[in-house]
Structure 1
Amino acid sequence: MAADTPAADTFDYDLFVIGGGSGGVRAARVAASEYGARVALAEDDRYGGTCVIRGCVPKKLMVYASEYSELVDEAQCYGWDIKQGSFNWQSFRGRMHAELDRLEGIYKKLLDGAGVERFDQRAKMQDAHTVKLADGTTKTAKHILIAVGGHPVRPDMPNAELGMVSDDIFHLDALPKTMLIIGGGYIACEFACIMNGLGVKVTQYYRGAQILRGFDEEARGLIAEAMCENGIDLHVGTDVVEMAPAADGDSGAMPTGSDAAAGGTSSAAPSTANASAKSGPMRVKPTTGDAQVFDAVFFATGRTPNTKDLGLEDLGIEMGRRGEIKVDEYSQTGVPSVYAIGDVTDRVNLTPVAIREGMAFVQTVFGGEPTPVDHELIPSAIFTQPEMGTVGLSEEDARDQEEIEVYSTSFRPMQTAFAGKSDRALMKLVVSKKDRTVLGCHIVAPHAGEMIQLAGIAVKAKLTKEQFDATCAVHPTMSEELVTMRTPTRTA
């Protein structure tokens, strides 16, 4: 992996990182603080990247906010004499952005404390060891790490620019009364649940047969049912034919008045404040049914790497069909001095993965320990309502590779069952018949993300079903089902 390069002291830096997201910041900080490398980093937007500024963190804060709408009814069933209040979007939004500012400040302080020189401007590649900054200056480095992430994309259709994407939703002046979400992936489903919980009347179109393609069939089916029961108007097998600004007085077929959601302040079914969206009401015609009017349209139809105008093609760096940077198992491109990590490589687009890729890069290049990136058995969570946690193979993927046993149970959790709710949870293990290894674990339940982190340790360690069984249950909990299922539900 080493390249024939000039002596290190002829460069301005040992490492120049392009991109100030979680992966780039971690790599820069560790290279400087633990290995004494001379490091610089350029970021043309906000430090923290997608996760901190326009992704995981603000989304999770919105998840928390949206869940409170259900707590009053549940608390009343437990004897609490409390009443439904109202949700103030402006108040929440202000606190949310203050928290993002605080976290961005921490990222900057971490870099400064490690001795990393920051350039708050865009950088692009000029040659294998040189980057050019927006102010026209150039900097040289023995190694260059590209960690510029990705961005949401709109579909190729007329007026698509009038719809929102995930970057926009955190900056709404007020909540719309009605929203159409287009897409069926985890971002679409998470925001459908979020906006529904905040009082927005949500309709969701997805062109596929079932939402959350690629995840376990049984788990995603349960989530789809729960979303519909919670009031989301979900339409699978449905795409958009055309979209245009609604004419004055064109209400389409959408509900108004007491069935619509609030703008600035809202309760479960408010009817007062004005809605504010990116471009005003939109008239949307689906492939099924009549045209409808929505106050806002939100595209959750995919993301693409931020590789445009980085100068990569001129260096001969290989790019994939979607614009992703092609790298080997050590995150090294075809140009030996240039590496890439995170979403810009379109491998596993998760923040903890980008951080681990950054650490593996530092160990490889500065620690003298060639460390391939481990992308196997990565646990993940989808923050729908209920949540889904998953690690390992789905039932469908596992049975395509070998004979399996499936241990699965669906039940009403004690907390919500007591309150008379129909919510159901799912605990599921996919087990190899051959060596009894647990190939996959799938949880649909409140706080599934917290549970799958711990289950992920066991699956990563390749524990067997019998080792799960030998673990004493914690009672009464939902997760005890993971160690009490004794009889296979089915074999395949």
Structure 2
Amino acid sequence: VGGGYIAVEFASIWRGLGATVDLCFRKELPLRGFDDEMRAVVARNLEGRGVNLHPRTNLTKLEKTEDGKIKATTDHGEDLIADVVLFATGRVPNTKRLNLEAAGVELDEAGAVKVDEYSRTNIPSIWAVGDVTNRMNLTPVALMEGTFFANTVFNGKPSKPDYRDVPYAVFSIPPLSVVGLSEEQAIEQAHGDILVFTSTFNPMKNTVSGRQEKTVMKLVVDAETDKVLGASMVGPDAPEIIQGIAVALKCGATKAQFDSTVGIHPSAAEELVTMRT
């Protein structure tokens, strides 16, 4: 139950192990907040691998059956029979047992530790980094915050974590990876026109296996400055490829610089430097 990272990843894992998987989520597509086109590709790929998708669906009741299984009833009146039900419907900061109130540390409504831009709490001697602060809940981001904290406190180099152009991935099968702005975010935030370049193709390994999954790539570009604002990819090795693209975005690369880069052939990654439409 759920349409986020954890739900999609576990659906892929269990289906890959041969289990029958029903994925129930509230929206029309899984992975709310990601590029809509990429969300649709992930949904098609899940269905293509045999995951049963139930969009716009909530569970209203769970009952044990006589044979020890679980009958899950949806708000559409459908009954799903399962061995296990996984709820992947969100997380909250794990602060309850820390007794932070006794130290006077302020928490927000979700229980996250409130910090300033340097990760310091309202108590000058207490700092907090990672998911407990509920900023950007990713392991590499927590590592970055810890590094910047160490620079600030121990190296005498006040440093603020930079949350722009942080790459991340959903390890579905095949995976989705993104960096920068989605097309929807770019339209909302841009002050002028944006250009969108896409490429859809059948990976070479799928040609041999006969699998019909397509790789889809997208670049979002500021029309006035030619700066690449975001990159998205669904397909084999997407996280490995987008990690390198993240360096380019961090350096402020333009579409012209992407176009002037020679691709590695034959590879999926070369599509990112040969997109013209």
TM-score strictly above 0.5: yes
SS at match of 1:400: helix
Report the CA distance between 1:364 and its aligned residue: 0.5
Residue 145 of structure 2 is aligned with which of 326, 348, 357?
357
One-letter amino acid matched to 2:185: D
Greater relative contact order (Cα < 8 A, sep 6+): 1
How far off its partner does 1:458 sit? 0.6
Q: Residue 297 of structure 1: SS of its match in structure 2?
A: coil
Correspondence for 1:229? 48
- Any idea what SS the aligned residue of 1:362 has? helix
What amino acid is the match of 1:360?
F
> 1:203, 1:391 → 2: CA distance?
29
Query: Given the two structures, how large is their TM-score scaled by the length of structure 2?
Result: 0.97
CA deviations on 1:321-365 (whole Å, 9 max, x unpaired) are 211001011100001000000000011111111111111111111
Instruction: Tell me how large the CA RMSD over aligned residues is.
Output: 1.0
- Tell me the CA shift for residue 376 of structure 1: 1.2
The 5 A counterparts of 1:365-384 are: 365-384=153-172
Q: Does 1:316 align with 2:100?
A: no
Q: Secondary structure at the match of 2:178?
A: strand
**Cα shift readout 1:30-50 (whole Å, capped 9, x = no counterpart):** xxxxxxxxxxxxxxxxxxxxx
Match of 2:174 in 1: 386
- Counterpart-to-counterpart distance in 2, 1:306 and 1:419: 45
Alignment map for 1:195-234 (pairs within 5 Å): 195-234=14-53
- Taking the TM superposition and a 5 Å limit, the aligned residue runs for 1:178-327 are 182-248=1-67, 280-327=68-115
In the alignment, the residues of structure 1 paired with residue 19 and residue 211 of structure 2 have an alpha-carbon distance, to the nearest angstrom, of 21
Residue 423 (structure 1) aligns with: 213
In structure 1, how many angstroms separate the alpha carbons of the residues matched to 2:30 and 2:157? Answer: 42
Query: Equivalent residue for 1:439?
Result: 229
1:309 is displaced (CA, Å) by 2.8
> Superposed, which structure 2 residues align to 1:118-129 within 5 Å?
none
- How much does 1:292 deviate? 2.2
1-side partners of 2:89 and 2:95: how far apart?
19
Q: Matched residues in 1 for 2:105 and 2:27: separation?
A: 34
Deviation readout 1:272-322 (Å, 9 max, x if unpaired): xxxxxxxx5211100124222211101111111111031212333221121
Q: Structure 1 counterpart of 2:177, which letter?
A: G
Answer whether contact 1:363 1:370 (CA < 8 A) is retained: yes
Match in the other structure for 2:121:
333
Residue identity opposite 2:98 in structure 1: L
Q: Give secondary structure in 1 for the equivalent of 2:97.
A: coil
CA distance in 1, matches of 2:245, 2:103: 44
CA contact (8 A) 1:412 1:422 kept: yes
Give the letter for the 2:173 counterpart. Q
Q: What corresponds to 1:79 in structure 2? A: none
* 3-state SS of paired residue (2:54): strand
Alignment check: 8 A CA contact 1:379 1:390 kept:
yes
What do residues 368-396 of structure 1 show as CA deviations (whole Å, max 9, x unaligned)? 11111111110111110111110000000
Residues of 1 paired with 2:188 and 2:240: CA distance? 29
Partner of 1:407: 197
TM-score normalised by L of structure 1: 0.55
Describe the superposition over 1:97-143 as per-residue Cα deviations: whole angstroms up to 9, x where unpaired.
xxxxxxxxxxxxxxxxxxxxxxxxxxxxxxxxxxxxxxxxxxxxxxx
Question: Is 1:485 aligned with 2:275?
Answer: yes
Shift of 1:411: 1.1
CA distance in 2, matches of 1:191, 1:376: 28
For 1:240 and 1:388, locate their aligned partners in 2 and report how far apart those are by CA, in whole Å. Answer: 27
In the TM superposition, what is the alpha-carbon distance from 1:473 to its structure 2 partner? 1.2
Aligned AA (2:259): D
Residues in 1 aligned to 2:118 and 2:100: alpha-carbon distance in whole angstroms: 19
Identity %: 46
The whole-number CA distance in structure 2 between the counterparts of 1:474 and 1:344 is: 41
Q: Quote the Cα distance in structure 1 between the aligned partners of 2:16 and 2:207.
A: 20
Q: Structure 1, residues 213-265: CA drift from partner, whole Å, max 9, x if none? A: 001111111010010011000111000011121234xxxxxxxxxxxxxxxxx
Q: Secondary structure at the match of 1:222?
A: helix
Contact 1:318 1:325 in 2 (8 A): yes
Letter in 1 for 2:141: V
Contact 1:183 1:206 in 2 (8 A): yes
Counterpart contact for 1:451–1:479, Cα < 8 Å: yes
Give unmatched runs, 5+ long, in structure 2.
none
Q: CA deviation at 1:207?
A: 1.0
CA distance in 2, matches of 1:381, 1:305: 21
Q: Which residue of 1 aligns with 2:255?
A: 465
CA distance in 2, matches of 1:211, 1:289: 21
Q: Which whole-Å CA distance do the structure 1 matches of 2:206 and 2:40 have between them?
A: 20
Cα pair 1:203 1:234 within 8 Å, conserved:
yes
Q: Give 1:427 shift.
A: 1.1
For the pair shown, the structure with the greater C-alpha radius of gyration is 1
How many residue pairs are counted as aligned between the two chains? 275
